[in-house]
Every structure is written in C-alpha cells, then in structure tokens.
Structure 1
Amino acid sequence: MSAVPSTQTALLLSAPGTPFTVSTRAVPVPGAGQVLIKVHAAALNPIDAMMQKAGHLFTEWPAVAGNDGAGEVVALGEGVHEVQVGDRVLFQCWFTVDRGTFQQYAIADAARAIKFPKTITYDEAATIPLCFFTAALGYYGTYDVAVDTMQFRGIGLDIPVGEGAGKYKDEPILIPGGASSVGQFAIQLAKLSGFNPIITTCSKSNESYCLSAGATHVIDYKTVPYTSLASHITSNITSKPFKVIYDAVSTEDSQAASWSILSDTEGLGSKAGTGGKLVITLPPAKSIASELDEKQFAKNGSKSASWAYGNGNGQPTQADANKLARALEGWLIEGKIKPNKVELLPGGLSAVDSNVGRFHSGGTSGAKLVVRPFETIAPA
C-alpha cells in the first residue's frame, strides 16, 4: 500500500457560474465513522451542471463537485468496521469539499461505502451510486420530508431481500425513460421485486439495453407518443391497474401520461396513501401540479406523486440507505444488479468542464460519462 500524499489534484469551482478548474488541495483526513478513498473513477451527472451553474447544495467555496465515485480504501477513521484498507468500494458524495468525487482522494461514510467484486471495473462501479440510490430510495424509502414546496418521499415497498424478494409478483409497472441511468436501475430493481410486466419507454436504438436490464415490453416513444401510451398499453399489453409507476425521465409529457395511467384507488407500499403511487425524478410538471395538494396527493383521490430523494447520505435517508447498501453488495456479487454502460472520457478531471453540459443538450444516450482522476495532468 503506497503512502497517502498530503496534497492532490482536484477539480474546483471557485463560485457559482465559474468554470471547473484543475487545481490542487490538501488530501482530507477521515473522521469517526469515515474512510478515505483513492478515487480511481468518477461519473458525471446532470446535477453536476446544475451545481456548477447555480451553486446548488454546496456549503463552502471553493467547492468540489462529483456525485459518483469508485476506488480503494486507503485510510480508516475511528470506529470503522464495515470496510478495511484495500477494499474496492463505490460511494456517493455529500455536499462538502472533502466529499465530492472530482478529486483524487475523497471522504465517505463507512456505512455506505459499498464493496464490489473484481468482476466489475472501477469505471463501471462509478456509474452506480447516485442513480441506484435515486431508484432504490424512490421504491423502498420510508422517508417523508418537505423541502420548500417539494415533498420528498419513498413509497415504502419492501426491499427485495429475504421475504421481500419477488413480493410484488405479477403486478404491472411502467418505467418511462428506461435507457437513462436511473431507468436502468429502476428496471433491475422492479425485476427483483417481482413486477411483471415491466414496461418501459425509450428510443428504438436502446431497446436491447432495456430488455437486458429486465424490461418485458419496450415502447418506442417516437412511434407511440406519450399521449397514446395509455391506450397502447391497454390494447397490447395489460388492462391491470398500475399501482406503481416510476417515471425515470419525468418530462412534462411522461408525467402527464403516467398520472393518467396510475390507479386512482389501488396502491402498494407503506407510504403515500392507499392509491397508486407515482415516483418522479424532477418536480411535478405543470400538467399534474395543479391536481396535487401540498402533500402531492390528488385533490380528488388517493393517488400521489413523490419526488425521489437521490442521496443516501442525507439525514432523512441514511437509515434506508444503510440497508440498501448492504443489499446492493449482495446483488453485485450475485450479478443481480449490473452497472451502466460506460463512456470513458480521456484527460481525467480536465474533461469534466467540456462534457458536463451534454446532459442538457441531448449529447448522451444509454451510457454514463466517466473520468479517471489520476489521468489528470496536474497544474504546474
């Protein structure tokens, strides 16, 4: 094991709206319950561009972004027993400078540093944390918290381990946006939970990608527009009520279609009332917002919409995320959860600034953008 240096190469934001800049900063020291991870791979996400533009969620400047990381544990804080030095782990950021993944060494909570097998590369592992937790905490989370005008809530399904595995056998589920990173994990988890049929939407070019994740029916949204989705499903796939829909793309059209398809009275899970439950990854669209009360229940019924809280390190989600972290370790070993496809960007951290905008310009499809921090050319 090589010695941990005192300084490192990192990608800094000096203030909201400024470019990402390769610089140097001190290597952090893990506190109680934390680990220091040598970051071999970090993935880009749409939220990174939002954080760069407006400074959302950062608590100190200069800031280090990056939500997804995978690497090697190189130091332990006091009281850590979940992992050991040398373990290969994937992990999710928190919004402090020491915990962003766009740097060579980052801090993580040991309870949610997730070991993964050697059959998965560091690049692949880095595609998992944020979008896995966004999908899993939407399905299985027991949190229910209001932030400003938004209701963050998991719908309280049983985690598919032990007696929870396959519990929702033969319940249909709809997952718009199945080729997205969140959609891929939403499909895989729906399969573990027993849902069938698993219906998703994507472009024709990503059909095989969605089928390989576990979808049973793939609908090309360019051929069958969202305005025709309900009638297409009823005529060609199933007439059963949809008690759960996970809208992984959450556009205006997809939310409107999902809301219209969702059961008014029949639901699953322990949270969000007795009617059908729509999980969304963005705020409620105009088409459904007018139909929701302050808790995001339908004003004239029991169905509801819940915005998934995508970070397992937040106080409301830590208890759920700890359980999901241990479950994920087993699923990765068993091959039941697989990473996203990888698009490796050359140049290490230097590639982030010129690529992070691709999420909002249609420049990514069916793959996660990944960089290797140790391939960065350090500033002179």
Structure 2
Amino acid sequence: MKGIVVEKVGGPFTLVDTLDKPKPSSTQVLVKSLVTAINPVEGYMQGTGLLVTAWPIVLGCDASGVVVEVGDDVKKFKEGDHVFGCTRLGVPGHSTFQEYFLMDELLTFQKAASITVEAAATVGVGLLTACLALVVGTKIDLEQGSAADPNEWIIVLGGAGSVGQYAVQDSGNSCSFYEMVLTASQAAKLCGYKVLASCSPSSDEFVKNLGADATFSYKLPLKDQLAEVESFTKGNYLRCFDASAMATETGMEALAQGGDTHAEVKYFATTNGWSTIEPKNGIEVCAVDLGMIGRSGSDKSQVDRDIEGFIPKLEKYLCERLLKPMGYEIVGDVGVAEVLKGLDAFNARKGGEKKVLVRLAAE
C-alpha cells in the first residue's frame, strides 16, 4: 500500500509503497481514501512528535472515502458506503495520507448524496471542534431554534493573521479561524443565537459572509475590544469561544466584566489546551481536545461519547443543508504522491480562506 511516511521526529514526508493494509477491528471500518484535507496539525506532529504514538508514522486526519471492509460488529455501515470525518490522530493505520485507513464506526459520518466527496473532506475536524466547544464548553443545546432568547449573542474570538489563524499546540486541534467562524456561526445560528466575531479589519466582510452577524477588530486595545463587545451585544451574552487559542484574556475579561449580570454562571471555551487559565468567579472554562478522539478503545472517553452523540444530528443538518461545508481548493492531480504537493502548497500560503484538499484516488 502507498502512503506518505515520516520516519522520525523532524523527518521529511516521503512517499513509500511498502505499507501493510490495515485490518479493521470488530467496531471499525476500512476506508479507501478518496480525498484528504491538509491541516496545521500534520506539520505540528511531524515537527514535534506530539500526539504520535509510534514511528515511522503516516499522518493525515481529515478525509472522505468509501468503505471497503467492515468489522464483525459494525451495524451503521456496509461496503460501498461513502463516509468522512476525523480519524485518530497520530495512530498507525488511521491516518489519511495513505490508500486505505481505519475509522471507528460511531465516530464516523455517513455522507449524504447532497454532499460531494470533496466537500465532505472539509467537515470533520472543524465541525467536531466547534461542537465540542459550543455544546460541551458553552452548554448550548444542539437543536434547531433551542436558544431561549433569539437576541442572545455568542462571542467567537479569533484573528486572520498568521498567529491567530491556527491553533494546534498540544491539544491537536487543527482548524483555521475561518473554519471555526463558519462552523461555530452555523451551529450557533442554527440553535437560535447571534454571533459576534473578532477578526482583522481586512477580513471583516469575509468573516461576516461566513455567518457572523457582526465583527470587531482583535487588533484594538483590550478595553476597546470590550467596549465593542458591549456595544454590539448590549450585554446580552454569557458564552464565549476562543477559536484562535490566542484570545484568552479578551474572552475571560469580556465574561468577567460584561454580559448577563443576572447569570449565575458564564461559559468560556477555547482551543488552547496548553496554557493554564486563571479561574474567575462565575466562569466555567472548557479546553477542547479533539486530539484524543478514538484513543480510549472500549473504555470510551468523554470526548468519544460526546462525538457519538453529535454525529447523528450533524448528519441530519448537513443532509438538509442547515450546515454547510467549508470552501476548498484542490491541489495537484490524483494519487497518493499528490499529498506532497498539498503539503507544500499549504506551507507556502501560511493559512488561507479555503481548505487545501488532495485527491488520492478516483471513486
């Protein structure tokens, strides 16, 4: 089997054709990789070794493909089904930069006919991270129109510069800020909330087009950012999601100094899984950790249980187009070797408004 291998920490990405095809366990499916996304986390694992469980390793965690083999106890899928999602990060056999990879049955999305295989490859990491942040972290109900007050705001903090754009670090979260605005805005608005996002002034219109109801500049001094938040929301908020992992102070101060003054508790979620956040009275903090998806085995982690609960609802919303995939660009032609071109293109652009995708095989 062909794949893109990294032999050791800091080693180059190299094409090989000597890999063994993985064998699914009783609760897994084997997937033919059709389209894989390139995420910041791949370069991070290659350069630091964090999240990698064994060397040499094939990387890649966000893809769409077709099921070619099912485990004995799998009920949701059959051979020939099209699937997508986020696989186990840094675990041999599960990585998407190879011809075939493993997915855990209940952590996998079934692709609807209304979604292309390319669009499906943009969904997994971003949507699951946003749901972990909003549903688990800020305690919203993932049901259409579930917000008690349609004028309540959720604050999504980020930035479109090279620092604010990607939040990887130890947590394994691997989304661009644009993905987070798109997915968080769609999920929040689906549930009936309004979204205020921070971004660079040059990205203001683009971020609004992704779904934010209003924006303010993260480049302003902190006191001015807090004034902007109060001006837009009139204090009607108690939830904040730091999608950039770089705006902890802004989010925590916005909740501590403003928002719903009658609320007993406010909620701060972040993709920053490596810094200690000083607690503040009345604020509940949640650090999203998608990097541990699927790693717990039969003794399921809370992350896995949460994701299993999200996926049926998210499949329905995606099928009904209430949630939409991210924009993307295809790099290269078709084949496993094209992943190397995708990695080069991703690194050369240092972020961007669209997901970088590579086609590994034809359907």
Normalising to structure 2: TM-score of the pair? 0.83
Distance 1:134 1:87 in 2: 24
Q: Alignment identity in percent?
A: 25
2:190 is matched with 192
2:64 pairs, out of 70, 91, 98, with 70
Range 347-356 or range 76-85, more displaced: 347-356
CA pair 365-97 structure 1, distance change in 2 beyond 3 A: same
1:217 is matched with 214
1:89 pairs, out of 74, 79, 83, with 83
Query: Cα offset for 1:250?
Result: 2.2
* C-alpha distance after superposition, 1:166-197 (max 9, x if no partner): 4453221111238521222111111122112x
2:240 pairs, out of 237, 240, 245, with 245
2:319 is matched with 333
Paired residues in the alignment total: 332
Query: Cα offset for 1:226?
Result: 5.1
1:372 is matched with 359
CA pair 156-31 structure 1, distance change in 2 beyond 3 A: same
Query: Cα offset for 1:258?
Result: 1.6
2:284 maps to 1:304: yes
Distance 1:43 1:119 in 2: 19
2:4 maps to 1:11: yes
* C-alpha distance after superposition, 1:63-86 (max 9, x if no partner): 111110111111111111112222
Unaligned runs of 5+ in 2: 160-176, 296-300
Query: Cα offset for 1:210?
Result: 2.9
Task: Map 1:111-260 to 2 at 5 A.
Answer: 111-141=106-136, 154-160=137-143, 165-167=146-148, 169-177=150-158, 179-196=177-194, 198-221=195-218, 224=220, 227-235=223-231, 237-251=232-246, 254-260=247-253
Aligned-residue CA RMSD in angstroms?
2.6
Query: Cα offset for 1:207?
Result: 3.7
2:165 is matched with none
CA pair 303-352 structure 1, distance change in 2 beyond 3 A: same
Distance 2:329 2:215 in 1: 23
Normalising to structure 1: TM-score of the pair? 0.80
* C-alpha distance after superposition, 1:233-261 (max 9, x if no partner): 323x222143111111122xx32222211
1:55 is matched with 49
Distance 2:317 2:56 in 1: 37
Distance 1:33 1:327 in 2: 21
* 1:266–1:275 Cα contact (<8 Å) kept: no
Unaligned runs of 5+ in 1: 1-7, 142-153, 268-272, 376-380
Distance 1:326 1:109 in 2: 14
1:149 is matched with none
Range 80-89 or range 168-177, more displaced: 168-177
Distance 2:346 2:6 in 1: 13
